[in-house]
Each structure stands twice: as structure tokens, then as C-alpha cells.
Amino acid sequence: MRNALLQLNQRILSAQTSSGEPLGGLGDVILRVFAEHAPLHMAALYACGKRDHLTFCAGVGKPPALSATNILMERALRTGQVVSIQSLIAGDVEGVIAVVPLTDINGQTRAAVAIYDIPYAAFQPSTLNLLAVLGAHVGDLLMRNAHAIAPDRARKDFMSALRRSMEDYRRCALPVALIVFKLDPAMVDGPIAAMLMSSRGIDHTYTCDDAAGQAAVLRLMPLTDLTGATSYIRRLASAGKLEKESFDNAGLSYFLWSASGTVESEASPFDFLKRCGIRPLRRSGDIPDQEEKVAQS
């Protein structure tokens, strides 16, 4: 899963986009990633327009034309969830056996993958769950491309990634960790701060000030459990030639939150941020309270 999401980030965010084509001309790139992680013998990617108008963007095999009134497609677009023939009682599916919507964390579906043929052994819940996670993350990446010049993009991208990680945990028990690092003024432009901001696979970072005005770095670590997060902290200490217990003496402190199938912090990540004095949810255009409650459920 980590490799699949890393490939998605690298390929989609670095691909050449075209404003004049559906999905920015990324159809082939998107469907190729799906086909690499599930044995799709025949599938098609459709962009969804107004009134659920479907535009063919890419195909594997030779998929036939599909109507927007297809019962599986209609249900997937309406619910934002993967739908398969296993969940149907009756209806003409036009040869489609499953539909994977590309639905972002805000609930907008920009496209969907219609699957016509996949080996019987692979047509099982684990494969559909993998495709569901991929579809959701592609939806988020398309959202990022659509709002590339939005004001305060870094904060919005971070909060979207946090909400997506919580959704992955809620739906598929995928682990996630969140670390808040706080830096004394002398540390802000130093090597430790640079290491905190360095990229690491699918991690997300965001810099801000806490309520007391102290510089902070938030690191979101999808698919990372408590053990993985503490290992990262040990590696950080080793790279900075620090003992973990002496972080405070070096002008650096940290706070750790995690959730996995076996260990979960009592507070939600949103409450955790508040307790750390980080309040990125309380500015104009941020997530309303009811969405925090959804993430906690």
C-alpha cells in the first residue's frame, strides 16, 4: 500500500497536465497505477461531469461504452463508495462487475473506474479495499491539482491529508501517526529543522506557530504505527547527534499521537493538536466542528 500511494504522489503530481482535457489529461497515468496494483484485464476510467455525464479517459483491454445510468456507476457516484455486483440483487450492469469512484475527502467525485474483467481469485474484499483506498487518494490528488494556486494551500493540503488518513484508519484500519515538534527560536534555521521538513515518502509536513508563538512542525505519517513513529524519532535524534531524552536541552520538544489496529490514542488528532496549542482548524475556511466529530467516530 505504501508503494502504491508513493507511486500515486510521484506520478500524478509530477505529470504534465492539460487544462483542456478531462482530468487534466492524466487518465492514462491514473489507470496505469490501478492496473499495476490489481490485475485489471478490462477496465475504463471515466471523468464525471454535470448531471453525471461520463467522458471516457482511458482503458485497459477493449471496454465497451457505458451509460451514466448504469446501476453500479450510478450507485458509486451517489455514495462515493466502491460498488460491485456482489452487493446487487438485480439490474442490468452492462458487463461491469465493480466501480471504483475517485472521491476526494470533501466528497466530490471527479471520476470513476469501471471494472469489466478481473481474475476470479482477485475479485475479493481485500482487492476492492485496496482499490477503494487508491481511488480516494487519487481523488485527493486531483483536488490538489484543481486548487494548485489556492491561498493557504499548504495548510489546506495538510488538513486534507490528515482527514484522509483518519478515513483510511476508520474504514480499513490503516495506521497513522502525527508528531508535533516545537522549536526554540535558535533552532528554526538550524539543521534539525531542515531534517524535520525533509520529505519522507508519503509523509506530510506543515509549519506554523503555536498559541504561544513558538515555531512548530507538524509531521503526518500515514501507514505508520506507534513503533514506526518512535523509530523515526530515534533516527532523527541519531542524525542530529542527540539523545532522545535530551531533545528539550537542545531546544526541541515533541508530542506524539498514533492510531492503529492495536493501539489508539484516547483523543482524536484534532483534540491532540488543540492540546499542543496548535489550532489550524479555527481560521477562515477551515473544517467545521461537525467534520471533527465525523473523524472521531
CA distance 236 to 249: 15
Across all residues in the chain, what is the average pLDDT? Answer: 82
Question: pTM above 0.85?
Answer: no
Give the containing element (helix H, strand E) for 10.
Answer: helix 2-14
Amino acid at 17: T
**What is the chain's percent helix, strand, coil content, to nearest 5?**
45, 20, 35
Within 10 Å of residue 122's Cβ, how many Cβ atoms?
14
Helix (H), strand (E) at residue 237: helix 226-239
Could you give all domains of the chain from N- to C-terminal order, each with its CATH number?
A: 2-146 (3.30.450.40), 153-296 (3.30.70.2880)
205 and 217 in contact (C-beta within 8 Å)? yes
Look at residue 283 and tell me whether its pLDDT is greater than 50: no
Write the pLDDT tens digit of every residue in 225-257. Answer: 999 999 998 888 887 666 655 676 667 889 999
Would you say 142 and 104 are in contact if contact means Cβ atoms under 8 Å apart?
A: yes
Using one digit for the tens of pLDDT, what is the confidence trace for 117-142?
A: 999 888 988 899 989 999 999 999 88
> Which pLDDT score is estimated for 164?
93
Instruction: Centre a 10 Å sphere on the Cβ of residue 49 and count the other Cβ atoms it contains.
Output: 12
CA within 13 Å, CB half, 228: 16
